[in-house]
Chains A and B, each alone.
Chain A
């Protein structure tokens, strides 16, 4: 019996032309080629995708989910980046 298992791949699907690829889940495969075939069989049995990306889960670098993490802090206090920050009289057209 094998004691070494196939690595984990994360799967991203483009549902149709014009949309971004979206993460849908993961699967195990021996290599990227097999991961693509497995992803097709597992995640597109009902025409859910027109394009698939697979990437080794170990190759993904992710931000920390901890809310105390100051990572997203810089955008928190910059309300002036949003259009609603600016008062414009109602009678100014096309704005």
Chain B
């Protein structure tokens, strides 16, 4: 009886310190005590985010071999490489919570963990590369900038690095579109068509409306979320409308107009049935994306095994490298 009560007190004290750290806007760090629900939520969020970056290489990766110039190809390669890097930063952050990277990969390719619904739409023309940079990366930046202040230290630090790099992604996309809009009528039509296809899925990236978002309240209190889904969606719409005007494209929403009284743009209803269908696996490209990720993993198995065998055989054969490292220490 006494033991139980002591343990209860100890947990209460730990919870108190955890809540105090959050309340002081300080950061939770990897080996700190944290409620299991916080750890589980954090792992799920970071893993989903990592999976999104990794799957996100595919829609644009499709166009690397068909880039219209060497300049565009170099840019696109760098961007897709960044997406891989972002996935790696995030898996690294998830591992500080005790998750295992190989296990997370298995959860992705067996559909036990999700990734952003946006990457289940096909990329039908080169204008899609521009529109993904402008709208999809633009929406991602809106979502991610507040996450640089996430209460979980390693996630916040990864997000700072990611946000710096996303800025290049958005700007290269917008510049690509500006270039196409100065081209032929056919090129302008491609930009409008890509905008028509990606506008609504981009709005879905902010997640379900606030009244249908079950864990938001606790996530706000724990500093996991900083703004509601609807707030961020509104911010994105307000930011994007003048960019669309400057570009000379029409956003495909007849209800989109400035509301002087609110100081924001009003916009139409997102098709949440479509969102649910895509999230639950029935989007245009879900099966293709997962199959591609699984085949890359399976076909890489021999490389992983061979590297391990090589390391086991030649483990301590780099004394000169060790010497350099020692000399370099301060």
Using a CB–CB cutoff of 8 Å, the interface residues on chain A facing chain B are 1-2, 4-6, 8, 20-21, 25-28, 30-34, 41-42, 45-46, 51, 53, 62, 64-67
Residues of B within 8 A of A67 (CB): 17
**How far in angstroms is the closest Cβ of chain B from A59?**
13
Residues of B within 8 A of A21 (CB): 330
Q: Is B301 an interface residue (CB 8 A)?
A: yes
Closest residue of A by beta carbon distance from B88: A42
Check if A42 sits within 8 Å of B85, measured CB to CB. Answer: yes
What is the interface size of chain B, counting residues whose CB is below 8 A from a CB of the partner? 38
Q: Is B257 an interface residue (CB 8 A)?
A: no
**How far in angstroms is the closest Cβ of chain A from B321?**
7
Check if B308 sits within 8 Å of A4, measured CB to CB. Answer: yes
6 additional A-B pairs beyond A4-B308, A31-B310, A34-B307, beta carbons within 8 Å, are A2-B301, A2-B305, A5-B100, A26-B95, A30-B304, A32-B321
Check if A30 sits within 8 Å of B33, measured CB to CB. Answer: no
Check if B314 sits within 8 Å of A31, measured CB to CB. Answer: yes
Closest residue of A by beta carbon distance from B168: A46
- Bits for B19-57, please: 1 = Cβ < 8 Å to A, else 0: 000000000011111000000000000000000000000
Residues of B within 8 A of A25 (CB): 89, 92-93, 154, 157-158
Closest residue of B by beta carbon distance from A57: B95
What separation, in Å, do the CA atoms of A21 and B154 have in the docked complex? 18
Closest residue of A by beta carbon distance from B93: A25
